[in-house]
Amino acid sequence: MAWAYLFSASFTGLGAQVAAQDYWERALSGKTIKTIVWASFAAGIAYLILGIIPYILGIAAYQLNPHLTDVEIQSIGPWLLTNYFSPVVAVFIAVSMAAAVMSSADSGLLAAASIVGNNIYRIINPEATDKEILKWTKLSVTVGGVLSVILALTFQEIFRVHVFSDALLAIAAFPMITLGLFSNKTNNTGAIAGMYGGMGIWVFLSVLLAKVNEASFWDTSEIALLPAVVSSFVIMWLVSELTSKQDPPKPLLDYDGKELKKENAILSFRAVFSKEEIE
């Protein structure tokens, strides 16, 4: 189960980041398509390398003291810093971790606020001006910050909440974004079926594994992520094929309602190896 837990969490974590709004904020801010593609490749490699560090620290802590209590395990980072690092190095690492957390927090707040202002509020008020959208975006940043503080103070393990949010992105959004970019046969019906079908399979497997293995629901929910993501892909593709006549696939549109050309997609390998810049 340990390997299934690790593999499933790692794979779906990558899928969640591909679907995350804060990733696209950074990706689409590139000056050229070639820059965006190379930066995405570099970020993916760095993501994998940096993601291994917590596992290495956990293994090292277990080797140093295999009899750690549950309380010490929950605070393994501070325990390692205070017992096995010099004060200077410990302070440097702690400050770096705080900076990383703050950087991720402000990106998340901006992403949520942008969705509220540019997507939700525009649906409610299609005639909204830029000034009104900016006002609602600023308000959403404040509300999101307050809710985040409440969640952090309420939940004992905020990491579990983060994993849960990653699960929603990986199951519901990642398959739609991937098939939407690289398939011309998927439609709205397939996307909705894949989203709800994947979520249903995730919940079912999480509960089933928890009962069969007498494990925590939080742990089994992470193990069930990978089959749920794969199921979401399969359901979306299959339903799209079966309903293609009733619900013909529609082209991707940009913010201004213009059709996007997939042959010059941002994730295209052509942008990496082409000598000329792609518009």
pLDDT digits (tens, 9 = 90+) for 1-49: 555 566 666 666 666 777 777 777 777 777 777 777 788 788 878 877 7
14 and 168 Cβ atoms separated by less than 8 Å: no
Which whole number is the average pLDDT over 56-68? 81
The residue out of 107, 135, 154 marking a domain boundary is 154
Question: What pLDDT is recorded for position 204?
Answer: 92
Exposed/middle/buried for 107, CB within 10 Å: 0-12, 13-18, 19+? middle
pLDDT greater than 90 at residue 260: no
Which whole number is the average pLDDT over 203-211? 87
Percent with pLDDT over 70 in the chain: 85
195 and 266 Cβ atoms separated by less than 8 Å: no
- The answer as to whether 65 is a domain residue is no
- Number of structural domains in the chain: 2
Q: Whole-angstrom Cα distance, residue 264 to residue 272?
A: 11
Question: What pLDDT is recorded for position 279?
Answer: 53
Select from 276, 256, 260, 279 the least CA-distant residue to 182.
260
More confidently predicted of 278 and 232: 232
Question: What pLDDT is recorded for position 266?
Answer: 47
Question: What pLDDT is recorded for position 2?
Answer: 55
Confidence of residue 173 (pLDDT cuts 50, 70, 90): confident
Residues 6+ apart with CB under 8 A from 191: 176, 179, 180, 236, 240
**Phi and psi at residue 141, in whole multiples of 5°?**
-60, -45
Predicted TM-score (pTM) of the model is 0.70
- The answer as to whether 192 is a domain residue is yes
More confidently predicted of 279 and 83: 83
Which amino acid makes up residue 181?
L
pLDDT greater than 70 at residue 118: yes
* Residue 21: domain span: 1-30+158-249+265-279
116 and 128 Cβ atoms separated by less than 8 Å: no
The residue out of 106, 122, 154 marking a domain boundary is 154
Range among 29-33, 45-49, 170-174, 233-237 rated most confident: 233-237
Question: What pLDDT is recorded for position 242?
Answer: 92
Q: Whole-angstrom Cα distance, residue 31 to residue 148?
A: 32
Q: Does residue 188 sit in the same domain as residue 143?
A: no
Question: What pLDDT is recorded for position 39?
Answer: 82
Q: Does residue 176 sit in the same domain as residue 277?
A: yes
Q: Does residue 198 sit in the same domain as residue 279?
A: yes
Which whole number is the average pLDDT over 98-118? 79
Q: Does residue 205 sit in the same domain as residue 117?
A: no
Which whole number is the average pLDDT over 171-199? 88
Q: Whole-angstrom Cα distance, residue 47 to residue 51?
A: 6
Range among 78-82, 204-208, 251-255 rated most confident: 204-208
- The answer as to whether 128 is a domain residue is yes
Question: What pLDDT is recorded for position 269?
Answer: 53
CA atoms within 13 A on the CB side of 67: 0
Residues linked to residue 253 through DSSP beta bridges, in sequence order: 259
**In this predicted model, what pLDDT tens digit does every residue of 155-166 receive, in sequence order?**
766 777 777 777
Question: What pLDDT is recorded for position 189?
Answer: 93
Select from 42, 41, 72, 76 the least CA-distant residue to 57.
76
Q: DSSP letter for 220, please.
A: H
The residue out of 154, 179, 210 marking a domain boundary is 154
For 184-188, which contacts have Cβ atoms below 8 Å and span 24 or more sequence positions? Answer: 184/249, 184/262, 185/237, 185/240, 185/241, 185/244, 185/249, 186/236, 186/237, 186/240, 186/249, 187/240, 187/243, 187/244, 187/247, 187/248, 187/249, 187/250, 188/247, 188/250
- The answer as to whether 66 is a domain residue is no
